[in-house]
Amino acid sequence: MTNFGGFAGEHLIQFIERIERLEEEKAGIAEDIKEVYAEAKSNGFDIKIMREVIKLRKLEAADRQEQETLIDLYMQALGTLGTDK
Amino acid sequence: MTNFGGFAGEHLIQFIERIERLEEEKAGIAEDIKEVYAEAKSNGFDIKIMREVIKLRKLEAADRQEQETLIDLYMQALGTLGTDK
Amino acid sequence: MTNFGGFAGEHLIQFIERIERLEEEKAGIAEDIKEVYAEAKSNGFDIKIMREVIKLRKLEAADRQEQETLIDLYMQALGTLGTDK
Amino acid sequence: MTNFGGFAGEHLIQFIERIERLEEEKAGIAEDIKEVYAEAKSNGFDIKIMREVIKLRKLEAADRQEQETLIDLYMQALGTLGTDK
DNA sequence: CTGCCATTTTACCGGC
DNA sequence: GCCGGTAAAATGGCAG
């Protein structure tokens, strides 16, 4: 990874710029989210409660996900045990 | 903001779901970024250093931005002087 | 916060040493945890599954906690609305 | 490791609960540490710098440790030479 | 402006 | 011994 002036350098620049573009997009979306909160607030909703609701829903989703992961692991374990391979 | 079952409730749900969709998008992009880093890494680049580079470039951009803001201010000031607006 | 040779310095040292002691304790407990995992493993249990179980239980606990927080927030909101204060 | 309802299951639960208790303790200590930092901060100290100091002291401790290990090795070697064990 | 929360970054640990 | 993923530390940003 020497020779940064040559091909590797080109390559690096490309990676960096891809990331920078993605980060811009991400920041843009974060902006959007803030705007939605602001709009909701101006419609009389409580931001704190909204955040809490969102957090809880996320947690519940994570819960389900983890349950499935766990089941998969059990199945693997049992499968391994079962096939006597 | 009482009457959560009625129109307000409807409205709230809509805000929440909009936010959740945006957060998903955001998470997706975060994923993409991780992937780009991973790809760069598998091409022999050092992630930590890349992060540093990106941070620096961002700072420089902010500096430039600030400069431009300043320039705008001056221009306005000059414009004001010039046009007597 | 100049004069670090004097009283402030004394004070700082005390904070630092308190933290260092606590971190040692924490590291000790982390050790203990590792040992329990090792012991479980040597009894034929699958560490990965154990971690998953623990994660899920933690998530569920967090869930309940968040639900309560949310309810509290609702009560506050309704209380505020209700008392016309 | 089948028979999760029987003795193995019992055993597993016990391991899990031991770990959960330890993790709680650990979390408690982490809390304590945060509090100490907060207290230090309210006394005018800079948390970021404190972290840096603690990190350095840890490194130095590790260095000393390594040195001692080395010294021990030498001592053993000398002992071996001396005693002809 | 301060505390708190989310995100990001670093470090660790088990698995291959 | 390395790699991948997971958990902890640390930093930054936002609401109050």
* CA B80 remoteness from chain centre: 33
Written as six digits, the tokens of C3 are 């004069």
Written as six digits, the tokens of B18 are 């909009």
**pLDDT tens digits along A1-17:** 455 667 778 889 999 99
**pLDDT tens digits along B14-39:** 999 999 999 999 999 999 999 999 99
Regarding chains C and A, contact by 3 or more CB pairs under 8 A is answered as yes
The minimum CA-CA distance between C73 and chain B, rounded to whole Å, is: 13
Q: Which residues 25-84 on A are within 7 A of strand F at the CB atom?
A: 30, 34, 37, 47-48
Residue D37 has pLDDT above 70, yes or no: yes
Q: Which of residues 1-30 of D touch A (CB under 8 A)?
A: 1-2
**pLDDT tens digits along D60-72:** 888 888 899 899 9
Q: What is the mean pLDDT of residues D17-23?
A: 97
Residue B1 has pLDDT above 50, yes or no: no
Q: Which of D22, D15, D21 is nearest to C49 (CA)?
A: D15
CB contact under 8 A, D40 and C8: no
Q: Could you tell me if B50 and B40 are in contact, meaning their C-beta atoms sit under 8 angstroms apart?
A: yes
Element (H, E) at B10: helix B7-42
- Which residues, in sequence order, are CB contacts of B32 under 8 Å at separation 6+? A22
Q: Which of B85, C1, B15 is nearest to A44 (CA)?
A: B15
Mutation target vs C (from D24, D33, D52, D55; most C CBs, 10 A cutoff): D33
Q: Return the residue matching tokens 């020497």.
A: A2
pTM for the whole structure: 0.86
Mutation target vs C (from A45, A46, A64; most C CBs, 10 A cutoff): A46
Written as six digits, the tokens of C55 are 């994660």
Among chain C residues, CA nearest to A47: C73
Q: Exposure string (b/e) for D58-81, b if CB count within 10 Å is 16 or more? A: eeeeeeeeeeeeeeeeeeeeeeee
Q: What's the Å distance between residue B31 CA and nucleotide F9 C1'?
A: 22
- Which residues, in sequence order, are CB contacts of D8 under 8 Å at separation 6+? C44, D1, D2
**pLDDT tens digits along C19-70:** 999 999 999 999 999 999 999 999 999 999 999 999 999 999 999 999 999 9
Nucleotide nearest residue A26, measured CA to C1':
E7
* HSE toward the beta carbon, residue D48, CA cutoff 13 A: 0
